[in-house]
Amino acid sequence: MLQNITKYIFSIVLLSTLVACGSKRNADLENSEKLPKVKGEVLINRLDSLSKKRPDHFYTKLSSKYSDSKYNVSFKTSIRMRADSALHALITFARIPIYNTMVTPDTLTMVDKRNNCYMKEGMDYLKTTFGIDFKHKNIEELILGMPIAWNNNIEYQQIKDPYNYVVSSISKRKIRRLDSGEEVIIRYFLSNDTKSLKRMIVDSPKDSTTITINYFGREMIAGFDIPLKGDINIETPREKIYVDFEYNKTSVNDPRVLYLSIPNKYEKCE
Protein backbone atom coordinates (compact mmCIF):
# COMPACT_ATOMS: atom_id res chain seq x y z
CA MET A 1 0.00 0.00 0.00
CA LEU A 2 2.78 2.46 0.88
CA GLN A 3 4.40 2.10 -2.54
CA ASN A 4 1.06 2.75 -4.27
CA ILE A 5 0.55 5.93 -2.22
CA THR A 6 4.08 7.06 -3.04
CA LYS A 7 3.48 6.47 -6.75
CA TYR A 8 0.52 8.84 -6.69
CA ILE A 9 2.66 11.59 -5.23
CA PHE A 10 5.96 11.18 -6.98
CA SER A 11 4.64 10.30 -10.39
CA ILE A 12 3.49 13.89 -10.63
CA VAL A 13 6.94 15.18 -9.83
CA LEU A 14 8.74 12.43 -11.65
CA LEU A 15 7.38 9.90 -14.03
CA SER A 16 4.72 7.86 -15.99
CA THR A 17 3.47 5.53 -18.78
CA LEU A 18 0.72 3.57 -20.24
CA VAL A 19 2.11 2.70 -23.64
CA ALA A 20 -1.21 3.19 -25.41
CA CYS A 21 -1.77 6.62 -23.90
CA GLY A 22 1.80 7.78 -24.14
CA SER A 23 2.40 6.71 -27.72
CA LYS A 24 -0.33 8.98 -29.04
CA ARG A 25 1.03 12.03 -27.26
CA ASN A 26 4.57 11.21 -28.41
CA ALA A 27 3.41 11.00 -32.00
CA ASP A 28 2.13 14.57 -31.71
CA LEU A 29 5.70 15.71 -31.08
CA GLU A 30 7.18 14.10 -34.18
CA ASN A 31 8.06 16.32 -37.13
CA SER A 32 6.85 15.29 -40.56
CA GLU A 33 9.43 17.44 -42.38
CA LYS A 34 13.19 17.50 -42.07
CA LEU A 35 14.68 20.23 -39.90
CA PRO A 36 17.50 22.57 -40.98
CA LYS A 37 20.91 21.29 -39.95
CA VAL A 38 22.32 22.75 -36.74
CA LYS A 39 25.82 22.00 -35.44
CA GLY A 40 26.05 19.82 -32.37
CA GLU A 41 28.13 22.45 -30.60
CA VAL A 42 25.25 24.94 -30.92
CA LEU A 43 22.74 22.46 -29.45
CA ILE A 44 25.05 21.50 -26.58
CA ASN A 45 25.70 25.15 -25.72
CA ARG A 46 21.97 25.85 -25.75
CA LEU A 47 21.25 22.96 -23.36
CA ASP A 48 24.09 24.10 -21.12
CA SER A 49 22.52 27.56 -20.99
CA LEU A 50 19.08 26.11 -20.20
CA SER A 51 20.58 24.03 -17.37
CA LYS A 52 21.66 27.22 -15.58
CA LYS A 53 18.26 28.99 -15.61
CA ARG A 54 16.80 27.95 -12.27
CA PRO A 55 14.59 30.36 -10.25
CA ASP A 56 15.16 30.73 -6.53
CA HIS A 57 11.45 30.17 -5.79
CA PHE A 58 8.67 28.49 -7.76
CA TYR A 59 4.96 27.84 -7.23
CA THR A 60 2.33 26.13 -9.36
CA LYS A 61 -0.86 24.09 -9.20
CA LEU A 62 -0.83 20.94 -11.32
CA SER A 63 -3.97 19.26 -12.62
CA SER A 64 -3.07 15.63 -13.23
CA LYS A 65 -4.28 12.24 -14.37
CA TYR A 66 -2.54 9.08 -13.23
CA SER A 67 -2.83 5.55 -14.63
CA ASP A 68 -1.07 2.28 -13.96
CA SER A 69 -2.10 -1.38 -14.16
CA LYS A 70 -4.44 -0.98 -11.16
CA TYR A 71 -5.41 2.69 -10.81
CA ASN A 72 -6.85 5.49 -12.92
CA VAL A 73 -7.29 8.72 -10.93
CA SER A 74 -7.37 12.50 -11.32
CA PHE A 75 -5.99 14.83 -8.68
CA LYS A 76 -4.48 18.26 -8.09
CA THR A 77 -1.10 19.13 -6.63
CA SER A 78 0.09 22.44 -5.17
CA ILE A 79 3.87 22.67 -5.45
CA ARG A 80 6.16 25.10 -3.66
CA MET A 81 9.91 24.97 -4.29
CA ARG A 82 12.96 26.72 -2.90
CA ALA A 83 15.97 26.04 -5.14
CA ASP A 84 18.45 23.42 -3.89
CA SER A 85 16.66 23.33 -0.54
CA ALA A 86 13.15 21.85 -0.40
CA LEU A 87 10.05 20.97 -2.39
CA HIS A 88 6.60 20.86 -0.81
CA ALA A 89 3.67 19.12 -2.54
CA LEU A 90 0.06 18.98 -1.31
CA ILE A 91 -2.10 16.40 -3.09
CA THR A 92 -5.88 16.90 -3.11
CA PHE A 93 -8.79 14.78 -4.35
CA ALA A 94 -12.14 16.57 -4.79
CA ARG A 95 -10.59 19.60 -3.03
CA ILE A 96 -9.84 17.53 0.08
CA PRO A 97 -6.14 17.42 1.18
CA ILE A 98 -5.03 13.81 1.17
CA TYR A 99 -1.22 13.66 1.04
CA ASN A 100 1.22 16.28 2.30
CA THR A 101 4.86 15.81 1.29
CA MET A 102 8.26 17.42 1.65
CA VAL A 103 11.35 16.51 -0.35
CA THR A 104 14.83 17.76 0.59
CA PRO A 105 18.24 16.72 -0.77
CA ASP A 106 18.41 14.07 1.98
CA THR A 107 14.91 13.04 2.96
CA LEU A 108 11.45 12.27 1.68
CA THR A 109 8.56 12.84 4.11
CA MET A 110 4.88 12.14 3.49
CA VAL A 111 1.85 12.63 5.73
CA ASP A 112 -1.18 10.53 4.77
CA LYS A 113 -4.16 12.50 6.10
CA ARG A 114 -6.65 9.85 5.05
CA ASN A 115 -5.05 7.01 7.03
CA ASN A 116 -3.54 9.11 9.84
CA CYS A 117 0.00 7.93 9.22
CA TYR A 118 3.34 9.16 7.87
CA MET A 119 6.53 7.95 6.21
CA LYS A 120 10.02 9.38 6.33
CA GLU A 121 12.73 7.87 4.14
CA GLY A 122 16.05 8.67 2.54
CA MET A 123 16.08 9.70 -1.11
CA ASP A 124 17.16 6.20 -2.11
CA TYR A 125 13.52 5.21 -1.51
CA LEU A 126 12.68 6.58 -4.97
CA LYS A 127 15.12 4.17 -6.58
CA THR A 128 13.61 1.28 -4.64
CA THR A 129 10.08 2.30 -5.69
CA PHE A 130 10.63 3.31 -9.31
CA GLY A 131 13.83 1.53 -10.30
CA ILE A 132 15.84 4.66 -11.11
CA ASP A 133 17.98 6.93 -8.96
CA PHE A 134 16.34 10.40 -8.93
CA LYS A 135 17.81 13.13 -6.75
CA HIS A 136 16.07 16.15 -5.22
CA LYS A 137 17.71 18.40 -7.81
CA ASN A 138 16.42 16.22 -10.66
CA ILE A 139 12.83 16.57 -9.43
CA GLU A 140 13.23 20.36 -9.50
CA GLU A 141 14.58 20.15 -13.05
CA LEU A 142 11.71 17.96 -14.20
CA ILE A 143 9.04 20.33 -12.86
CA LEU A 144 10.78 23.40 -14.31
CA GLY A 145 11.27 21.77 -17.72
CA MET A 146 15.07 21.92 -17.46
CA PRO A 147 17.65 19.40 -18.76
CA ILE A 148 17.78 16.71 -16.07
CA ALA A 149 21.23 15.89 -14.64
CA TRP A 150 23.13 18.04 -17.14
CA ASN A 151 26.86 17.72 -16.38
CA ASN A 152 29.60 19.88 -17.89
CA ASN A 153 32.12 17.08 -17.29
CA ILE A 154 30.35 14.82 -19.81
CA GLU A 155 31.32 14.92 -23.49
CA TYR A 156 27.85 15.13 -25.02
CA GLN A 157 27.17 14.09 -28.60
CA GLN A 158 24.62 15.10 -31.18
CA ILE A 159 22.48 12.20 -32.39
CA LYS A 160 21.96 12.40 -36.14
CA ASP A 161 18.21 12.66 -36.70
CA PRO A 162 16.82 14.69 -39.63
CA TYR A 163 13.49 15.21 -37.82
CA ASN A 164 14.71 16.11 -34.32
CA TYR A 165 17.50 18.02 -32.59
CA VAL A 166 18.88 15.42 -30.15
CA VAL A 167 21.85 15.51 -27.79
CA SER A 168 22.89 12.42 -25.83
CA SER A 169 25.23 11.50 -23.02
CA ILE A 170 26.54 8.59 -25.15
CA SER A 171 26.75 7.65 -28.83
CA LYS A 172 23.83 6.37 -30.89
CA ARG A 173 25.52 2.99 -31.36
CA LYS A 174 25.79 2.48 -27.61
CA ILE A 175 22.19 3.58 -27.10
CA ARG A 176 21.02 0.88 -29.50
CA ARG A 177 23.05 -1.76 -27.71
CA LEU A 178 22.43 -0.37 -24.20
CA ASP A 179 25.68 -1.99 -23.11
CA SER A 180 27.74 1.10 -22.45
CA GLY A 181 28.21 0.35 -18.77
CA GLU A 182 26.52 3.64 -17.96
CA GLU A 183 24.00 3.55 -15.12
CA VAL A 184 21.83 6.21 -16.79
CA ILE A 185 21.62 7.32 -20.43
CA ILE A 186 19.83 10.59 -21.17
CA ARG A 187 18.71 11.99 -24.52
CA TYR A 188 17.62 15.63 -24.73
CA PHE A 189 15.28 16.74 -27.55
CA LEU A 190 15.19 20.47 -28.33
CA SER A 191 12.27 22.33 -29.88
CA ASN A 192 12.33 23.15 -33.61
CA ASP A 193 13.70 26.63 -32.87
CA THR A 194 16.29 25.07 -30.48
CA LYS A 195 15.25 27.53 -27.74
CA SER A 196 13.61 25.12 -25.31
CA LEU A 197 13.47 21.49 -24.24
CA LYS A 198 10.55 19.47 -25.62
CA ARG A 199 11.41 15.92 -24.53
CA MET A 200 13.84 13.81 -22.52
CA ILE A 201 14.33 10.05 -22.58
CA VAL A 202 16.08 8.54 -19.55
CA ASP A 203 17.25 4.93 -19.84
CA SER A 204 18.60 2.88 -16.95
CA PRO A 205 19.87 -0.34 -18.60
CA LYS A 206 20.83 -1.90 -15.29
CA ASP A 207 17.26 -1.56 -14.01
CA SER A 208 15.57 -2.09 -17.43
CA THR A 209 13.72 1.18 -16.88
CA THR A 210 12.84 3.88 -19.43
CA ILE A 211 11.31 7.26 -18.61
CA THR A 212 10.02 9.56 -21.35
CA ILE A 213 9.17 13.14 -20.41
CA ASN A 214 7.30 15.42 -22.83
CA TYR A 215 6.54 19.13 -22.56
CA PHE A 216 3.74 20.73 -24.59
CA GLY A 217 3.97 24.50 -24.85
CA ARG A 218 5.79 27.10 -22.76
CA GLU A 219 5.21 30.56 -21.31
CA MET A 220 7.71 33.19 -20.21
CA ILE A 221 7.29 34.15 -16.53
CA ALA A 222 9.71 36.63 -14.96
CA GLY A 223 12.35 35.71 -17.53
CA PHE A 224 11.98 31.93 -17.10
CA ASP A 225 10.55 29.63 -19.79
CA ILE A 226 8.01 27.51 -17.86
CA PRO A 227 6.07 24.54 -19.32
CA LEU A 228 2.29 24.75 -19.79
CA LYS A 229 1.56 21.02 -20.02
CA GLY A 230 3.43 17.75 -20.02
CA ASP A 231 3.33 14.02 -19.55
CA ILE A 232 5.70 11.39 -18.24
CA ASN A 233 5.88 7.78 -19.31
CA ILE A 234 7.69 5.17 -17.21
CA GLU A 235 8.19 1.55 -18.12
CA THR A 236 9.88 -0.82 -15.70
CA PRO A 237 9.96 -4.62 -15.53
CA ARG A 238 7.31 -4.38 -12.80
CA GLU A 239 5.00 -1.63 -13.97
CA LYS A 240 3.87 0.81 -16.63
CA ILE A 241 2.75 4.23 -15.43
CA TYR A 242 1.32 7.25 -17.21
CA VAL A 243 0.79 10.73 -15.80
CA ASP A 244 -0.15 13.92 -17.59
CA PHE A 245 -0.15 17.33 -15.95
CA GLU A 246 -1.15 20.92 -16.64
CA TYR A 247 0.32 23.98 -14.91
CA ASN A 248 -2.03 26.58 -13.37
CA LYS A 249 -1.51 29.80 -11.35
CA THR A 250 2.27 29.57 -11.78
CA SER A 251 4.51 32.18 -10.14
CA VAL A 252 8.29 32.59 -10.16
CA ASN A 253 10.51 34.11 -7.45
CA ASP A 254 7.54 34.86 -5.23
CA PRO A 255 8.74 33.36 -1.90
CA ARG A 256 6.20 31.18 -0.08
CA VAL A 257 6.34 29.31 3.20
CA LEU A 258 7.27 25.60 2.95
CA TYR A 259 5.92 23.79 5.98
CA LEU A 260 5.02 20.25 6.95
CA SER A 261 4.04 18.96 10.38
CA ILE A 262 3.32 15.42 11.57
CA PRO A 263 0.50 15.21 14.16
CA ASN A 264 1.56 13.47 17.37
CA LYS A 265 -1.20 10.86 17.01
CA TYR A 266 0.05 9.69 13.58
CA GLU A 267 2.00 6.44 13.37
CA LYS A 268 4.32 5.20 10.63
CA CYS A 269 2.50 3.93 7.53
CA GLU A 270 2.69 0.19 7.00
Identify the residue with better confidence: 36 or 68. Answer: 36
Identify the residue with better confidence: 169 or 39. Answer: 39
- Pairing outcome for strands 240-252 and 117-122: unpaired
Q: How sure is the predictor about 20, in pLDDT bands with cuts at 50, 70 and 90?
A: very low
Mean pLDDT of the chain: 82
User: Does residue 104 surpass a pLDDT of 80?
Assistant: yes
Q: How sure is the predictor about 24, in pLDDT bands with cuts at 50, 70 and 90?
A: very low
User: Does residue 142 surpass a pLDDT of 50?
Assistant: yes
The confidence score (pLDDT) of residue 31 equals: 67
Identify the residue with better confidence: 185 or 146. Answer: 146
Percent residues over pLDDT 70 in the chain: 81
Half-sphere exposure of 250 (CA within 13 A, CB side): 21
CB 269 within 8 A of CB 109: no
The confidence score (pLDDT) of residue 237 equals: 85
Cα–Cα distance measured from residue 240 to residue 234, given in angstroms and rounded to the nearest whole number: 6
User: Does residue 175 surpass a pLDDT of 70?
Assistant: no
Considering only 74-88, 111-125, 154-168, 173-187, which range has the smallest mean pLDDT? 173-187
Average pLDDT, integer, range 213-223: 94
Average pLDDT, integer, range 173-195: 76
Cα–Cα distance measured from residue 256 to residue 153, given in angstroms and rounded to the nearest whole number: 34
Cα–Cα distance measured from residue 185 to residue 183, given in angstroms and rounded to the nearest whole number: 7
Model confidence, pTM: 0.81
The confidence score (pLDDT) of residue 2 equals: 36
DSSP state of 205: G
pLDDT in tens, 59-93: 999 998 888 888 788 888 899 999 989 999 998 88
The confidence score (pLDDT) of residue 199 equals: 96
CB 25 within 8 A of CB 224: no
User: Does residue 266 surpass a pLDDT of 90?
Assistant: yes
Identify the residue with better confidence: 245 or 176. Answer: 245
In the chain, what are the domain boundaries?
2-268
Return the CATH number of 2-268, one of 2.50.20.10, 3.30.479.10, 2.102.10.10, 3.90.1150.10.
2.50.20.10
The confidence score (pLDDT) of residue 269 equals: 86
